[in-house]
Structures are given as C-alpha cells and as structure tokens.
Amino acid sequence: MDRTDQDAAASADRKQRQREAFHADDPAAGPLTTDQGVEVDHTDDSLTAGERGPTLMEDFHFREKLTHFDHERIPERVVHARGAGAYGYFQPYESCAEFTRAAFLQDPAVRTPAFVRFSTVQGPKGSADTVRDVRGFATKFYTSEGNYDLVGNNFPVFFIQDGIKFPDFVHAVKPEPHNDMPTGASAHDTLWDFVSLQPETLHAIMWLMSDRAIPRSYRMMQGFGVHTFRFVNAEGRGTFVKFHWKPRLGSHSLVWDEAQECQGRNPDFNRGDLWDAIEAGEYPEWELGVQLVPEEDEFAFDFDLLDATKLIPEEQVPVRPIGRMVLDRNPENFFAETEQVAFHTANVVPGIDFTNDPLLQARNFSYLDTQLTRLGGPNFAQLPVNRPVAPVRTNQRDGAHQSAIHRGTNYFPNSLGGGCPAHAGVDGKAFTHYTERVDGHKIRRRSPSFQDHWSQPALFWNSMSDWEKQHIVEAFRFELGKVDARAVRALTVEQLAKVNGELATEVARGIGVPLPSGPAAEAAEATEASKSASPALSLEAQRGDGSIRTRKIAVLVTDGIDAEQVTSVRERLAAEGAIVEALAPVDGEVRGADGELYTVDRALPTVASVLYDAVLLPGGPVGTSPAAADPDALRFVRDAYRHGKPIGALGSGVGILSALEPEGLRLSTEFHHVESDLGVVTETSPGAAGEEFLDAFVAAIAAHRHWDRLPTRH
C-alpha cells in the first residue's frame, strides 16, 4: 500500500477502533459470574430443598439467569424484520464540491466507514430469504460530520405516493389478520384487493412481479435511494439528486420455481451468501451513482420529481458515478449489530437535504418513532453500531438504558457550564436547512401532478426483454391465481389493461377472468410516455463486469472419475474466481480412474441444484457417466436444466445429458460442442478439457441463465 492507500484504510478503520472498546469476551476472562460479578461454581442444577424437593426462591443465580433469558428478545421491525448486515467503507472517486458540501463526498483519499443492512419486507425475522419481495438496502455512513443514512430499496420506485397510506399498504401486504398467513408472500387476497383499488401501486407492482424481486444475491442487486433528495453546495445552491447503487458483479436473479425450492433447501440463501463471500475475502462492491437535476429543471419532466412512484429514465438523465462502497467485515454479534442497528431517513449531514416528497416527509417522522419502541427508549444512538464516529455533545439526558455518566450542565444557554455546548456555526460546519420558499393553503389533497399512474409501469414493461416479460406474466398469474376473490382478479386485470394490452391479455388468460372491454382497455398505451422504453431498466443491461467471480459451480464426482478432466476445469474456474465444489453420493473421498483419492466437498443429499449456479459432469473411463446411476445426481442435472443454468459435460459425462431429452434438450454427440448457445457445453473426447470447452463453459456461466431453453408460455 502506498501512503495514500494507508491513510484511506486508516480513515475506514475509525468505526472498527470504536467498536473494539465495546468488545466483551466473557469466556476468555475467567470463571463464570453473576451479573453482579459474584463467582458461580455450579450452573447445571438449581438450588432445591432436598435432592427431590422444590426449587428455592433464594436461588438468585437461577432467577437472574432465567429472568435475563426471558427478556432476550426485542420487538422485530414492523417491516424489514429479516435482514443481514455488514461493515465496510465508502470512497468517493473525486470531489463532489460542485454539488454538495457533504464532507464524505469531497476527498478521494478518505474512506468513510459504513454499515449496510439488506432485508426482505413482508416476512417476520425467521422467514426465508428467497421470497418474492422488495429488498431493503440501508446504508449508514459514519462520516466525520455525523451519521448519514441512505435508507433505500432494490427498486427505484415505491408502492404509494404519500406516507399516510403506509399503514394501509403494509396491512394489506402483511399476513392476513385472522390467520397470520401467508408468511413472506404477497400472493394473497388483501394485497391484491389494495392494488386493484389503488393504481399508484402499479409501477412498484411491476417491479415486484419482475425477477428483481428474487435476487440471486444481495451482492448482485442494485440499490436506489428512491426519493428525489437535494444536494446543497457550499454556496447554498441546491441540486435535485437520485441515488443509485450498482453492483460490480452485475444484477442477477433467480428463477421463481428455484426461489421457492430454495426457501426450503436453504432459508438463509441470501444472508449465507453475503456472509461467506466476506469471510472468503470476496468483498462485495457497489458503485454509487447520482442523477443530478438542476433546480431550474424541476418541472422539465412529464412526471413530478416529488412522486416516489416515478423514476427518471437513465437515458434522460445519465447516472454519474461518484464513488464505490466495499463491504469487508462481518458483524461479530448479530443481535448487537444487525438487529440493533437503527436507520432513519432524517439522519442527514450538511450538504444533503430533503425535498417535499410526501413519502419522504412521512418517513422522516416514522423511523425515529419506531426505534423508540423497538429499542426501548431514546438512547439507542449510544449502541455501538449506531454511535457516530463524529463527537456527540447534546443536552439530551437520562431515559432508559442511559450508558453515559454525564457531568456538568444540561441546558442551553448556560454560564455555569462555560456556555457549553455552544451553538455551532462559526466555522460553517453546522447543518443548515435549505432555504426553500414555501407558500400555499393548508389542504389535504393529492397534487394533480401525481395523477398519471400508468405511463411508467408501461415504460417498465416496454423496457423488458422477452424472457423478462414472460416472467412478469407468470408472476402475475401465480400471484393472482392464489387470490380467492375472483372480482379482485378481474379488477386487477382492468388496471393492467391501462398499462399494456398484451400484458393484461396474457395475465387474464392464465387466471380465468375475462379480458376487460370498454374504457379500461381503450386506455392502454394511451399516452405518448407509455410508448417509450428505457433499456437500462432491463436486467440485460445490468451485467456488471461480466466476470464469474463467486459463482458456485458443482462438479458431480464418483469413484472412477476422470480426475484429469476435473482438475483442468477446476483450475480454470478457480482462476476466474468461481467457487467449485465436488459433490458425491457420500462425503469423504472418491477414487479416480488413475487410482488416486480425491476429496469430496459435500454429499449430494445435503445440497441441491438450486444452491449452485452451474454444474459440471466429468466423465469416467467406462463409457458412461459415473454420475448417471445416482438418482440425486440425475435430479440435480434436471433441475439445473429446468432453471436455465449452464451445464458442462465432458467425455462419458455427456451420457447423463440424454436423461434431459424429455426436458427438451436436443442432444448431439457428433460435434465437439453441442448447442452451447443454450448453455449446455459438451466435449466428447476423453482427457483434460480443451481451451475451447473451457472458454465456452466460462462464457455460459457469465451469461448466468439460458432463457431460450425454457418453455414459452401458452
């Protein structure tokens, strides 16, 4: 590291050094004690009157232990209850002084420590990761000027326009009140009842029905600040800003059928993936980009910048990269850090301000309010994960769980305390609210500029590739197909007809409701705006660096395997940064055709194809695939094929692919490579894999999924 890098790394370590002061390594420190520090010699039996007698009240150790345990849980978040977090840092590429005076966006040599929590929204804390849902993407920057929280999602738009509707929306999507079902799912009557009556939901619903709602990894999804915020520079000039996180590895998703199976095979699929990548030193990275709109262009769009159900197409206002974030440290205690972290949209720093977006204004109330209940009082900013690295000097005192021993005066103004803490401002560092002129009548009415609910859902639909459109239709059919109230299904289709006629028709055909006729149908594609497209909205356009780093590749091995083949592919995939695991019917070792023993990473019955990105079938010397006899292996390959995953087969390993012919694979063994455009790459000659095979297999993995292989809807 040169000096600049060292300085940058030291700046990122500020939060870690602060956390270290709070480490409590009880087991290493000596014998067991009570909370009062009294040593305990026996914690396995309670104090009783006689060997078979009743437990005695005076057993203070027993009562303290049980009482503490009884109170170990805090209320889970009312939304976004399930999450996973990590520490890291943010580093700007260059100074953004032209637009904002935020200190953490000025100096490319300074890394600002950060904590990110990813989450699902609907399900409780113990629900599965791979449900169809929005993902939260909340970032806390521990800046030198105090904490800045960017509390975003992996969709750029939200379901409602005004925060007063948030309780209605959340009640509708959450499990139904009478039976607390379904868990982690939106496919139920109350959500779709709400959607059918509330067309402002349609744009976010289109995102929810798309593959964006089932990300392959938290490390492979975009993040968005959603609202239009305001940058303010040192001269006090404001610029509207929308925030975008773009993952270096690109945005990739699961297939719905796979996502559902994953919920059972590994409910921790996304959080485990994040944890493992960081432990392996494969640090997830995102680029922070901004869309900047000068204040004078506030009304230059055919939608309102204050409307959180709208996005600014990137083709209209390009995303300008301003820095990158790297997550390089897992938390040490889930409860202390990931569970107790408290985000708040109103945690801003000088240079970043709000707009009058009514959703944002409501959020600025709600987050502090919810933390008071969730974290049991007003002192949660003292918790290690929430503590700023900037100095804190307030006259706030007391309250539950106060951990500071404040001394001196606690009011302003004072002379007895030397006037401290004094008002900031002389050095220009204080936060000052943007001086926006506001003038109007007190009214309770949605702005007429918020009324077009159909053009942008149409824009989204128009921007999708064919396979994405197919998945959206299938998702609508799945969700509405689970709605019992037929009238709700029909009304939702009427809403969709105002977005796009083809979409409505395809959905209607799958759920047994008539196509709308009359005004709703006529409204489809009515406006100019609803005919446009924004290619950047397609996952096709979000491929990142195109590498296969951290993709998980399964190699199915058994005794008799051609070890030379396995080694040649392993070496190449490892060089590309992929994770390769050898799977066999039982754990331990297999004996290769060369007589050597090879280590097995996992037993097939403990895993499944849905936990991997691709599969390799090496051959053996006996003319058939060694894997072909094993039912788990066959199922593995079938699933990989159904889910569009790359499959590589070598030598006699190609034989197992004939089992896929009923699934639609057109297998030809005459050629060196078979149908590699469908992501099935084969080499029939025995021995080590050739360069051509390796290149084709790596390219197939980089493409992620091979949609042409999957059946089209009817």
Dist. CA 512–CA 225, nearest whole Å = 38
Q: Is 367 annotated as a binding residue?
A: yes
Minimum CB distance to ligand HDD smaller for 242 or for 489: 242
- Judge if the upstream peptide bond of residue 646 is cis by omega within 30 degrees of 0: no
Closest to 84 (Cα-Cα) out of 344, 258, 280, 269: 269
Dist. CA 335–CA 125, nearest whole Å = 12
Query: Which residue's entry shows tokens 């580093």?
Result: 91
User: Are the beta carbons of 634 and 575 closer than 8 angstroms?
Assistant: no
344 tagged catalytic: no
Minimum CB distance to ligand HDD smaller for 228 or for 558: 228
Q: Is 363 annotated as a binding residue?
A: yes
423 tagged catalytic: no
Q: Please, what is the Cα angle at 355 between 349 and 356, to 5 degrees?
A: 140
Minimum CB distance to ligand HDD smaller for 164 or for 597: 164
Minimum CB distance to ligand HDD smaller for 174 or for 227: 227
The DSSP bridge pattern shows strands 614-617 and 552-556 to be parallel
Shortest Å distance, C-beta 393 to ligand HDD: 25
Dist. CA 83–CA 124, nearest whole Å = 10
Shortest Å distance, C-beta 203 to ligand HDD: 12
Query: Quick one: CA torsion of 425, 428, 430, 433, rounded to 10 degrees?
Result: 110
Shortest Å distance, C-beta 551 to ligand HDD: 27
Among candidate residues 61, 80, 643, 704, the one labeled active-site is 80
Shortest Å distance, C-beta 188 to ligand HDD: 21
Shortest Å distance, C-beta 56 to ligand HDD: 43
Minimum CB distance to ligand HDD smaller for 79 or for 573: 79
Q: Is 320 annotated as a binding residue?
A: no
Q: What are phi and psi of 365, to 5 degrees?
A: -85, -45
- Judge if the upstream peptide bond of residue 313 is cis by omega within 30 degrees of 0: no
User: Are the beta carbons of 222 and 251 closer than 8 angstroms?
Assistant: yes
Query: Which residue's entry shows tokens 């009415």?
Result: 445
Dist. CA 290–CA 294, nearest whole Å = 13
Minimum CB distance to ligand HDD smaller for 357 or for 452: 357
Dist. CA 682–CA 223, nearest whole Å = 37
Q: Is 598 annotated as a binding residue?
A: no
Q: CB neighbours (10 Å) of residue 117?
A: 24
Site residues, ligand HDD (CB under 6 A): 77-80, 83, 117, 119, 136, 138, 151-153, 158, 163, 166, 226-227, 308, 341, 343, 359, 362-363, 366-367, 370-371
Crossing angle (nearest 10°) for helices 455-463 and 486-499 = 80
Q: Is 218 annotated as a binding residue?
A: no
Query: Is residue 111 classed as helix, strand or coil in its secondary structure?
Result: coil
Shortest Å distance, C-beta 644 to ligand HDD: 30
Among candidate residues 61, 147, 153, 643, the one labeled active-site is 153
Binding residues for heme: 77, 117, 166, 363, 367, 374
Give the residue numbers marked as catalytic. Answer: 80, 153
Binding residues: 77, 117, 166, 363, 367, 374
